[in-house]
Amino acid sequence: MKAHHLSALGRRTEDPPISWLLAMALGRPQLVSLAAGFTDNKSLPREKVRRLMREILSSPQTGQTALQYGTTAGDPALRQLTSQHLCRQDEQPASRPAYSPERMIITNGSQQLLYMLTEALCDAGDLVLVEDPSYFVYLSILQSHGIQARGIRMEADGVDLDHLEGVLRDLQRRGELRRLKLLYLVSYYQNPTGRTTRYAKKAAALQLLRRFERAAGHPLYLLEDAAYRELRFGGEDIKSALTLNGARDRVIYTGTYSKPFSSGARLGFGLLPEPLLSAVLRIKGNHDFGSANLLQQLLARTLSSGLYLKHLDGLRQRYAYKARLMREAIERHFPAEVQWQEPAGGLYFWAQLPGRRATGMNSAVFRAALKNNVLYVPGELCYADDPSRRKPNHEMRLSFGGATEDSVRQGIARLGAVLRNRPRGR
């Protein structure tokens, strides 16, 4: 059916891969999904939430407040508590301006923040630098807005700084630097690779952006997506880019309560510099004039009561256990030539097949996996449509987040059988 009457954005927007993957995971009970980044069902804080909701609704004052509209920016108490929580994580004084609750907005998950930020900052034809590979849902947002994503190669500890500088110089030489708006990093236990960006690389990346600002003619922002930061079960925490010199003016930080507390609660937050903050607040006012106040009251009480930190302790142990199960299953069932990386946090393993053996949605491997009732995220979905390089098509993202222990074992065993059989075709 032709749709010439739709807007340019409406005509341009493609079906997001995440929608199809989620539908497959929920619509085929026999399918083991190692694709969707669901959180662990056993860890969801059902009893804690039931108790806290009873406390909130037991009083007319707190109950009526929770069931009424809130503000566009978000509940002041939740913003204050979130600011304090971030300061503790980064070992910063609460008075640090970059963490001010006045710079914070509460959103419907961090996904809404990414969408609104794109609307506020970018026009069709603009450029955004992303890790190569990157979070494929954000790539879909950029595609729908007509924004070109340019991939920056990744190393084990984050983006390749030499490549980043080379891309910036190339854009300057071509006269395209004015189209560039930001560098997007999923800096903790990255989706999809599980890698974490070293602190020194964050600092160097921000310095590079500042160096090219004059040629760009406008600010170049560092957008740090810390959605998986609190799912750390190995190693030490790394300070955020908010601690860097100049962060208040050039760093955009986004986090979420969906992954570490409840994906059904669907609350996230962002810290933004002006004038971006005001622009995003205006856009959010048009979206929904404030995220669900009842959920904000729930999260505020969870943080203030200490239940949030207690929940995190158990959650990290749970994910450490499930990551170990997946590692053991991979070691047992995958061919030895498959390369994979074990994360120290987050929800994902990243596997690379030998000989450029294709894993994309049209590949023999993907078709055979579906026939064998196991689903993964094809690595090709995680790469931008960057004309400067050929899109890789020999990798896969495997999630242990929402799968049960038996599903992790069965799914990897089924996938291992597919990889050993080497189906013909692409």
Write out pLDDT tens, residues 73-107. 999 999 999 999 999 999 999 999 999 999 999 99
Claim to verify: residue 265 and residue 170 sit in the same structural domain:
yes
| Averaged pLDDT for residues 50-61 | 95
Which residues of 246-372 form beta strands (DSSP E)?
251-256, 268-271, 339-341, 348-352
What pLDDT is recorded for position 355? 75
Do the domain assignments include residue 60?
no
Burial of 162 (0-12, 13-18, 19+ CB in 10 A): exposed
Do the domain assignments include residue 53?
no
Do the domain assignments include residue 63?
no
Number of compact structural domains in the chain: 2
Write the pLDDT tens digit of every residue in 17-32: 767 776 766 667 789 9
The token duo for 133 is 């590979």
Claim to verify: residue 116 and residue 246 sit in the same structural domain:
yes
What pLDDT is recorded for position 11? 83
Report which of 270, 266, 338 is spatially closest to residue 83, judged by C-alpha positions.
Answer: 270
Contacts of 153 (CB under 8 A, 6+ apart): 132, 159, 160, 163
Query: What's the CA dihedral at 419, 422, 425, 426 to 10 degrees?
Result: 40
What pLDDT is recorded for position 5? 84
Q: Given 246, 276, 306, which residue is the final one in a domain?
A: 306
Q: Compute and round to an integer the Cα radius of gyration of the chain.
A: 22
What pLDDT is recorded for position 370? 92
The token duo for 167 is 């891309």
| 426 has a pLDDT exceeding 60 | no
pLDDT-derived band at 109, boundaries 50, 70, 90: very high
| 400 has a pLDDT exceeding 80 | yes
Burial of 85 (0-12, 13-18, 19+ CB in 10 A): middle
pLDDT-derived band at 341, boundaries 50, 70, 90: confident
| 425 has a pLDDT exceeding 60 | no
Claim to verify: residue 263 and residue 242 sit in the same structural domain:
yes
Q: Provide the percentage of residues in the chain whose pLDDT is more than 70.
A: 97
pLDDT-derived band at 279, boundaries 50, 70, 90: very high
CA 19 – CA 21 distance, rounded (Å): 6
What pLDDT is recorded for position 424? 47
Claim to verify: residue 29 and residue 102 sit in the same structural domain:
no
Q: Given 281, 306, 331, which residue is the final one in a domain?
A: 306
Q: What is the pTM of this model?
A: 0.94
Write the pLDDT tens digit of every residue in 193-243: 999 999 999 999 999 999 999 999 999 999 999 999 999 999 999 999 999
123: domain CATH number?
Answer: 3.40.640.10
Do the domain assignments include residue 367?
yes
CA 391 – CA 378 distance, rounded (Å): 12
Do the domain assignments include residue 51?
no
Write the pLDDT tens digit of every residue in 172-183: 999 999 999 999
| 422 has a pLDDT exceeding 80 | no
Claim to verify: residue 125 and residue 202 sit in the same structural domain:
yes
pLDDT-derived band at 325, boundaries 50, 70, 90: very high
CA 347 – CA 402 distance, rounded (Å): 9
| 120 has a pLDDT exceeding 70 | yes
Cβ-based neighbour number of residue 185 at 10 Å: 26
350: domain CATH number?
Answer: 3.90.1150.10
Q: Which domain holds residue 128?
A: 70-306
Q: What is the mean pLDDT of the chain?
A: 94
Do the domain assignments include residue 65?
no
Claim to verify: residue 284 and residue 392 sit in the same structural domain:
no
What pLDDT is recorded for position 25? 65
| 356 has a pLDDT exceeding 80 | no
Do the domain assignments include residue 156?
yes
Which residues of 89-166 form beta strands (DSSP E)?
104-107, 127-132, 148-155, 158-159
Q: Given 256, 285, 306, which residue is the final one in a domain?
A: 306
